[in-house]
Structure 1
Amino acid sequence: EFFAANVSDTEPFIVMAYMKNGNARDYLKSHPASDRIKIARRLHDASLGLSHLHESGITHGDIKAANILIDDAGRAVIADFGLSRVKTAIDSRTIAQSTAPKSTAQGSQYWRAPELFKGERPGFPCDVYSFGMTIYEVVPLSTSYSFNNTHTFIDPDR
């Protein structure tokens, strides 16, 4: 639930409901017995939230399980809008761009769409790619890709 947004000095902030279950990644780690149906429900909730953002002209810019919170009822809620963009007739600036140097990379490396490694602007397809990587992160179907291995690198030309 969104309560308010404001700017304190130069720092923008959003006030949301407290989510005592934490983020989806930690929640699923602490509930290893969660069956695939429960995981699919959380992912479905997040996909609906992402769809709503896109229908509203908003690109999130950093979709990953750590940025999906779980509320008291077990529903997934998208959080961390620091890299979000609002699609307008003129290009918008992100919150991060207003406070970070221009050379700062956008989004989290392992979830970042390949086109972003080439310097292209983030958009809805980038969020969809990141959501796909989030599914791969939380659905225990494969262990061939480690999100904790800092030496794993994504080839943007693949």
Structure 2
Amino acid sequence: MDWVRGGKLGHGSFGTVNLAIPRSRNAQIPPLMAVKSCGVSRSDSLVNEKFILDELRDCPEIIRCLGESFSYENGEKLYNVLLEYAGGGDLADRLKSDERLPEFEVRQYTKDILEGLNYIHKFGYVHCDIKPQNILLDKNGGAKIADFGLAKRAGREKMGVFGCELKGTVLYMSPEMVASIEQGPPADIWALGCVVSEMVTGAPAWRCSDVAGLLMRISGGADVPEVPGNLSDEGKDFLEKCFDKNPSTRWTAEMLLNHPFVDGDQDFDDCVTLKDRQKYVVSTSPRCPFDFPDWASSVTCSITSLPPSDFTLDPDSRLRPESNSTISPAERLRELVTVDRNFDWDADDWMTIRL
């Protein structure tokens, strides 16, 4: 694929990310892409990421890989992985702009992330670095998991403070990950809980600036992140399932997808404040002239009184009183639109007109 490098978007775990534009239009290639690049000599992790993304290519909640290429730039040979471009930025930027999100939005993002994690885990992989910076948002408001630079096969290696190098982001590490136990799918679920808490409060789940002290809190005792008090009961229960210190009893992604926090209809009034409702309200198109909601127009009606209910309309007069009207509203409307014409209302050849 022939493409042109655009502006810088940021850094991944093992590469720089830029916009990319294809030189020629193709129905199979989007007009905008992202390209993650690094020097060939240090491209092992990026090659591994490309391999994993190819295996996970059929999941819409995971950023798609569009191809790979090599290039020579500024005297260095680069390995490039072309990726789907998510135009909504990442979840971390979303939190910076709004600090905390309304719960109905948290539920939707959480469900998308769970769909992606369930797919990842079923293929035998662990992401190992779930955090807001690695959750990308598309232009339709959906969430997609990105940056598989630390991803690995479940059960392949152990990591911890002693012996092996500790990889990942400390604020989102699970107790078993810090305590040198094999890192598996439950570690991603713990990290998801930290992300959900951060979406609700606008701040990291752990309130600790000392890394060594934080590692001790995560790995030792019964200490877990505080569950936000402004979260619904369903949300609190969901986080308790994520923050189970025992990875063997912690709920899986598949189990959490059936949790009421993300599954089924939500009560709009229970999880959206008035301010949020005004900002995010979604209306449906009216089906008739009388179907507009009472907030649809601010124009004040100039009619101060209505004609008596026994008035009707015929071809010879405007409003004529009836001494004892028994005409139904439907019949009155038919008189209004047909005047002195006779129509067969039961005919089969009527044409529906939509305005």
Normalising by the smaller structure, the TM-score range is 0.7 to 0.9
What is the aligned partner in structure 1 of residue 130 from structure 2? 63
Q: How high is the sequence identity, in percent, across the aligned residues? A: 25
Q: Measured at CA, do residues 117 and 26 of structure 1 come closer, stay the same or move farther in structure 2, by a change above 3 Å? A: same
Q: Count how many residue pairs are aligned between Structure 1 and Structure 2.
A: 145
- Tell me the distance in 2 between the aligned counterparts of 1:52 and 1:145: 28
Larger deviation, residues 110-119 vs 4-13: 4-13
Q: Which runs of 4+ in 1 moved over 4 A?
A: 5-14, 141-144
Please tell me whether residue 133 in structure 1 is matched to residue 221 in structure 2.
no
- 2:125–2:154 contact (8 Å) kept in structure 1: yes
- Tell me the distance in 2 between the aligned counterparts of 1:15 and 1:41: 27
- Which protein has the larger Cα radius of gyration, Structure 1 or Structure 2? 2
What is the aligned partner in structure 2 of residue 96 from structure 1? none
Please tell me whether residue 29 in structure 1 is matched to residue 96 in structure 2.
yes
Q: Measured at CA, do residues 125 and 12 of structure 1 come closer, stay the same or move farther in structure 2, by a change above 3 Å? A: farther
What is the aligned partner in structure 2 of residue 47 from structure 1? 114
Q: Measured at CA, do residues 105 and 73 of structure 1 come closer, stay the same or move farther in structure 2, by a change above 3 Å? A: same
RMSD: 3.1
What is the aligned partner in structure 1 of residue 66 from structure 2? 4
What is the aligned partner in structure 1 of residue 44 from structure 2? none
Q: Note the residue ranges of structure 1 that are not aligned, 5 or more in a row.
A: 93-101
- Tell me the distance in 1 between the aligned counterparts of 2:170 and 2:205: 17
SS class of match (1:16): strand
- Tell me the distance in 1 between the aligned counterparts of 2:78 and 2:167: 18
Q: Measured at CA, do residues 119 and 7 of structure 1 come closer, stay the same or move farther in structure 2, by a change above 3 Å? A: farther
- Tell me the distance in 1 between the aligned counterparts of 2:107 and 2:164: 36
What is the aligned partner in structure 1 of residue 220 from structure 2? 157
1:66-81 equivalent positions in 2, closer than 5 A: 66-81=133-148
Deviations 1:13-64 (A, max 9, x none): 6432112321112113324584210121011111111111111111100111
Q: Note the residue ranges of structure 2 that are not aligned, 5 or more in a row.
A: 1-62, 71-75, 158-162, 222-355
- Tell me the distance in 1 between the aligned counterparts of 2:68 and 2:182: 26
User: TM-score scaled by structure 2?
Assistant: 0.36
SS class of match (2:177): helix
SS class of match (1:77): strand
Q: Which has the higher contact order (CA 8 A, sep 6+)?
A: 1
- Tell me the distance in 2 between the aligned counterparts of 1:112 and 1:13: 29
- Tell me the distance in 2 between the aligned counterparts of 1:115 and 1:33: 29
